[in-house]
Amino acid sequence: MPPGDVARVIAFGGTGKAIVTHHRNVFDPPEIMASNADHAASLAQLPITATSVEGWARLFNAALTRD
């Protein structure tokens, strides 16, 4: 979410300048959001089977579809 939007949601009518500054400091540096974790190795150790988004949608088709 863009920092200005975050400020409008959280500032409760204030200017939100501190919120925007904090949000930018946390999320703007690209290295913050980078991940070098080996997700395949992590998933292989879990006692679960990964489901694709399409597969998940098929499982919950009744709940996701309006009549």
pLDDT higher than 80, residue 63: yes
φ, ψ for residue 59, nearest 5 deg: -60, -35
Q: What angle do CA 43, 40, 60 make, to 5 degrees?
A: 55
CA-based end-to-end distance of the chain: 32
Element (H, E) at 9: helix 3-10
| pLDDT attached to residue 54 | 92
Q: For 16-62, write each residue's pLDDT tens digit.
A: 777 777 777 777 776 766 667 787 888 888 898 888 899 999 999 88
By the 8 A CB rule, do 26 and 3 touch? Answer: no
Per-residue confidence (pLDDT) for residue 27, from 0 to 100: 75
DSSP designation for 26: H
